[in-house]
Chains A and B, each alone.
Chain A
Amino acid sequence: MAVLSAPARTETPPDPRKRSRSGRLRRAIGDNLLAYAFMAGGLACFALFSWYPLVRGIVLSFQQDNFVTDPYWVGTENYTALFEDPLFWTAWKNTLVFTGFALVFGYLVPLFLAILLNELRHLKGFFRVAVYLPVMLPPIVVVLLWRYFYDPGNGLFNTVLDAVGLPTSQWTQSPSTALFSLVLVSTWANLGGATLMYLAGLQGIPGELYEAAELDGASLWQRLRHVTIPQLRFLMLVLLLLQVIATMQVFIEPYQLTGTTNPDTITVMVLIYRYAFTVNNDFGLAAAMSVTLFVVLAAFSAVYLRLTRSQES
Chain B
Amino acid sequence: MRTLISETEIRRHRALYFAVLGGVTILFTLAFVFPIYWMVTGALKSPVELAQPIPTFIPESFHPSAYADAWNRMEIARYFGNTVFYAFGGWLFVLVLDVAVAYALSKLRPVLGNVILGGMLASLMLPASALLIPAYLTVTDVPLLGVNLLNTPWALWLPAVANAFNIYVLKRFFDQIPNDLLDAAAIDGAGRLRVLWSVVLPLSRPVLGVVSIFAIIGIWKDFLWPLLVLPAPAAQTLSVALSRLSLTSQVPLNMMLAGLVIASIPMVVIFLIFQRSIIGGLSAGAMKG
Contacts and interface: CB of A to CB of B under 8 A. Distances in A.
B243 A312 contact: no
Interface residues of B, number: 105
A53 B225 CA distance: 14
A48 B158 contact: yes
Contacts of B243: 140, 144, 255-256
Nearest to B191: A34
A207 interface: yes
B127 A297 contact: yes
21 contacts: A32-B110, A36-B110, A38-B104, A45-B97, A46-B161, A51-B123, A57-B134, A119-B10, A130-B28, A133-B271, A140-B223, A144-B243, A154-B54, A154-B55, A188-B31, A202-B3, A252-B223, A276-B133, A276-B136, A290-B130, A301-B127
Contacts of B81: none
B33 A130 contact: yes
A-B pairs, top 3 by smallest CB distance, nearest first, are A207-B2, A35-B110, A294-B130
Decide if the interface of chain A is mainly helix, strand, loop or mixed.
Answer: helix
Most chain B beta-carbon contacts within 10 A, residue among A138, A228, A304: A138
A200 interface: yes
Given A52-B138, A294-B130, A305-B125, A42 B98 contact: yes
Nearest to A227: B4
A82 B242 CA distance: 32
Interface of A: 1-2, 4, 31-32, 34-36, 38-39, 41-43, 45-46, 48-54, 56-57, 60, 65, 115-123, 126-134, 136-141, 144-145, 147-149, 153-154, 156, 159, 188, 192-193, 196-197, 200-203, 207-208, 210-211, 214, 220, 223-224, 227-228, 235, 238-239, 242, 245, 249, 251-252, 255-256, 269, 272-273, 276-277, 283, 286-287, 290-291, 293-294, 297-298, 301-302, 304-305, 308, 311-312
B224 A119 contact: no
B228 A41 contact: no
Given A54-B134, A196-B282, 19 more contacts: A41-B101, A42-B167, A52-B134, A56-B138, A57-B134, A118-B3, A128-B275, A129-B272, A137-B36, A145-B257, A147-B246, A154-B52, A200-B279, A203-B1, A238-B289, A269-B129, A291-B130, A293-B127, A305-B124
Interface in B29-57: 29, 31-33, 35-36, 38-39, 42, 51-55
